[in-house]
């Protein structure tokens, strides 16, 4: 019996049934002409929901082992929101945005902020500022809430000596890894909550310890910033309490950059 006879669709476009294989639950939705649209994000959320069986849930039905989504950096939205904070972002591609999980205690957050400042400066880049991400943990289970971090976005400006996009992306990677190592080797209170899901000038990741279906409890208004492609992200399976990965079990994040519910970690019932 051929693959087609077994029920696979016929070969078409970029699809070839001969390439079908088992995987760990990954989905990618894109417009092959690179046209951003709200529909891309809606379809990505549908993929996420259809892959819910690839996740796991323990005794708490409202605490999953993780779900997430990666999408293009919504520059227009971020520029507007940051302007309200007195933070002027440079043009698209001239800055990186990081999604950062931080300790619940202020002392820990301030210590990590200082590490970012010295590391960014040491790498010849500019720390533009931070933005608090609105959150709503009402639908999360006790385990997820117990390990909930503070969620903020960091903005890093591109240094004058960085000549191209690839070089800037490498700088952002180096900054992230250096800060991660510094935090892990420090005595910063609450450092086990620290985690950086993404730091890039091209993309942003939203993820959390919840089930994919929890995203669908919220509506997806058309005001969501469009994206030309979205990817389903599978966060690591939580380790025992106290491990840094478990501590990243975030609340249902609702950066209004994903008012459509495109965050893996939340809906959009929060106010600005």
251 vs 228: CA distance, rounded Å: 27
* pLDDT above 70 for 79: yes
- The pLDDT value recorded for residue 216 is 57
- The pLDDT value recorded for residue 41 is 78
Q: Using one digit for the tens of pLDDT, what is the confidence trace for 143-202?
A: 888 888 999 999 999 999 999 999 999 999 999 999 999 999 999 999 999 999 999 999
CA 9 to mean position of chain CA atoms: 32
Strands of the sheet containing 150-157, edge to edge, are 126-132, 150-157, 95-102, 195-200
87 vs 81: CA distance, rounded Å: 9
The reported pTM is 0.75
- Each domain of the chain, given as residue ranges in start order, spans 24-258
- The pLDDT value recorded for residue 246 is 34
150 vs 249: CA distance, rounded Å: 10
Provide the 10 A C-beta neighbour count for residue 159: 16
The set of catalytic residues is 24
The average pLDDT across 225-240 equals 54
- The pLDDT value recorded for residue 70 is 83
* Three-class DSSP category at 229: strand
Q: Using one digit for the tens of pLDDT, what is the confidence trace for 9-62?
A: 899 998 898 888 766 667 788 888 888 877 887 788 788 778 766 666 667 777
Mean pLDDT of the chain: 77
Long-range contact set of residues 102-107: C-beta below 8 Å, sequence gap at least 24: 102/149, 102/150, 102/151, 102/152, 102/190, 102/193, 102/194, 103/149, 103/150, 103/188, 103/189, 103/190, 103/191, 103/193, 103/194, 104/148, 104/149, 104/150, 104/190, 104/193, 105/189, 105/190, 107/189
What is the third-level CATH fold of 24-258? 3.60.20
């Amino acid at each position: 019996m051929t693959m087609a006879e077994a029920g696979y669709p016929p070969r078409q476009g970029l699809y070839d049934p001969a390439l079908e294989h088992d995987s760990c639950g990954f989905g990618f939705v894109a417009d092959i002409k690179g046209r951003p649209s709200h529909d891309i994000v809606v379809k990505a959320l549908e993929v996420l929901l259809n892959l819910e069986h690839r996740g796991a849930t323990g005794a708490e039905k409202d605490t999953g082992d993780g779900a997430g989504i990666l999408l293009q950096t919504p520059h227009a939205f971020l520029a507007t929101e940051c302007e309200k904070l007195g933070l002027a972002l440079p043009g698209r591609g001239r800055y990186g945005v990081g999604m950062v999980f931080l300790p619940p205690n202020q002392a820990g957050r301030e210590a990590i902020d200082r590490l970012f400042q010295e590391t960014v400066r040491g790498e010849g880049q500019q720390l533009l500022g931070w933005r608090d991400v609105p959150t709503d943990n009402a639908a999360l289970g006790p385990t997820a809430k117990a390990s909930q971090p503070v969620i903020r976005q960091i903005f890093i400006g591109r240094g004058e000596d960085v000549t191209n996009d690839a070089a800037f992306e490498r700088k952002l990677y180096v900054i992230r890894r250096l800060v991660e190592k510094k935090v892990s080797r420090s005595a910063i209170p609450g450092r086990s909550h620290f985690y950086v899901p993404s730091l890039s000038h091209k993309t942003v990741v939203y993820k959390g310890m919840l089930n994919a279906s929890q995203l669908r409890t919220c509506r997806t208004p058309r005001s969501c910033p469009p994206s030309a492609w979205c990817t389903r992200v599978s966060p690591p399976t939580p380790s025992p309490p106290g491990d840094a990965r478990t501590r990243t079990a975030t609340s249902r994040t609702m950066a209004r950059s994903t008012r459509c519910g495109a965050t893996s970690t939340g809906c959009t019932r929060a106010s600005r």
